[in-house]
Structure 1
Amino acid sequence: MREDASEPFDPLTYENIAGSVVRTVLETEPQALAGIPRFEGAGIYALYYLGPPEMYAPIADPGCAVPIYAGSANPPGSRIGGDALSPEVRPVLHARLGEHRRSIDQAGNLEVDQFKCRYLRVRPVWIPVAEEMLIRRFRPVWNSVVDGFGNHPPGRGRRDMRRPRWDVVHPGRPWAMRLEPQEIIEQIKEHLARWPGKGT
């Protein structure tokens, strides 16, 4: 039942359209992150973790109920006035998932075969609002406590930036800097104990 039945239902509000996109991606069959065939298009995705370490135990579910990370891949130019209504034929979503696979590959304490993903090709105009709703619904730990997983290597002149928290806990990416991980590990545990992110 809708929370506010006093207003007429409008299926074309941003909230309802985003909700339909999120429901659709969550209904797709999870696939191994290591073996996604090349495909064209932009869209949204959710990553799921099925292995150790112990700090992720509350969400390490073979049924892929709670994502560890959610994100999107937009076509080039979409942030600066590109055509958000046209279908995108470049493999930007596939490329983004490939970047994540390489980041996990480089981490010394993670294995790519312990990850699955759901993804959905979406017309670019709906990508930002759907991604926002997906993250708001689950509050994935790699989008909140352990930020920096989706970062790109810093450009020249930015090498003195502080190491991303993800690289503190999962060291291995060669461009990341040094910092102690224990405090962040404790924050991960607190986050997952307080909000397991079941999406309800």
Structure 2
Amino acid sequence: MGQDLPVFESPTFESAVQDALDFVASQPVHPLPPEQKFQGPGVYMIYYTGNFDPYQRLANANRGTLTNPIYAGKAVPKGWRKGREVKELSDKLHMRLREHARSIEAVENLTLDNFSCRFAIFTGEEIDMIGTVENALIRQRDPLWNQEIDGFGNHHPGQNRLDQTLAEWDTLHPGRSWEQDWRGDRPDRDRLVERVESHLSRTV
């Protein structure tokens, strides 16, 4: 364009995000969901160590040290997306982990006892980092249920959407209430298993 463009660069941004990633990874492991209720938004990682055959490569790697999450996510406070000031903390993060636990309990081929989690609470100005840290976790760790198999974090899609294509996660793990009522197409399960195995061979 014949002129310098206004490109923002920060020499401290990468180190701040890495500090947050290191902090999350250093947190203790909890059952899913954590037994003690707590307040605050933040980010989390979920780990798998069970016997579902397509996930054995991942489960075996995690039985020594939990370093390979199957899913990473976030919970943000009310009003966060609109830039509103967060005036009080809520139990959004704990509630999100409980929702994930209920999804796993509902399906036929996963056992909740085989899942655990790490999480970190963000308060003050650091709340603005939640989305950035979640994205960095996903890029860094390549969690299977974020990068390859879509749908774990879904809520009930509503009756008007039951004619669409079923989510990949619900195809691999049938049992959630809406899956049982699904009228639309379903992805090819064998192809999904191939994708799982290919992803884990590259990332674990």
Q: Does 1:140 align with 2:143?
A: yes
| 1:107-144 Cα shifts (integer Å, max 9, x gaps) | 10001110010000013201000001000001100001
List alignment gaps of at least 5 residues for structure 1.
Answer: 1-8
Match of 1:184 in 2: 192
Contact 1:33 / 1:101 at 8 angstroms: preserved in 2?
yes
SS in 2 for 1:48: strand
Task: Determine the C-alpha separation between the residues in 2 that align with 1:72 and 1:65.
Answer: 18
Q: Partners of 1:166 and 1:34 in 2: how far apart?
A: 20
Which of 82, 85, 109 is matched with 2:84 structurally? Answer: 82
Q: What are the equivalent positions in structure 2 for 1:5-154 lying under 5 Å apart?
A: 10-11=11-12, 13=13, 15-60=14-59, 61-62=62-63, 63-83=65-85, 86=86, 88-123=88-123, 124-154=127-157
- Contact preservation (8 Å) 2:33, 2:94: no
- 2:7 is aligned to none
* TM-score (norm. length: structure 2): 0.84
Indicate the structure with greater helix content.
2
Question: Where does the alignment leave 5 or more consecutive residues of structure 2 unmatched?
Answer: 1-9
CA contact (8 A) 1:42 1:121 kept: yes
Counterparts of 1:82 and 1:147, CA distance in 2: 30
CA contact 1:48–1:116 (8 Å) conserved in 2: yes
Task: Report deviation, 1:24.
Answer: 0.4
Q: Deviations over 1:40-83 (max 9, x none)?
A: 11000000001111211222112211000000001122112222
Aligned residues of 2:33 and 2:97 also touching (Cα < 8 A): no
Q: Which residue of 1 aligns with 2:175?
A: 172
Q: Per the alignment, in what secondary structure is the counterpart of residue 97 of structure 2?
A: helix
TM-score normalised over the length of structure 1: 0.86
Could you say which residue in structure 1 is the equivalent of 2:163? 160
Secondary structure, aligned partner of 1:46: strand
Which range moved further: 135-144 or 56-65? 56-65
Change (3 A) 1:26 1:190: same
Cα-Cα RMSD: 1.7
Q: State the Cα distance separating 1:87 from its structure 2 match.
A: 6.5
- In structure 1, what is the equivalent of residue 5 of structure 2? none
The amino acid of 2:192's aligned partner reads: I
Match for 1:142: what amino acid?
W
Q: Give the CA deviation at 1:34.
A: 4.2
Deviates more, 1:93-102 or 1:175-184: 175-184
Identity %: 36
Measure, in 2, the Cα distance between the counterparts of 1:156 and 1:188.
29
User: In the TM superposition, what is the alpha-carbon distance from 1:39 to its structure 2 partner?
Assistant: 0.5
Alpha-carbon contact 1:108-1:172 (below 8 Å) kept: yes
Cα distance in 1, alignment partners of residues 53 and 161 from structure 2: 34
Moved over 3 A (4+): none
For 1:128, the aligned partner's letter is: G
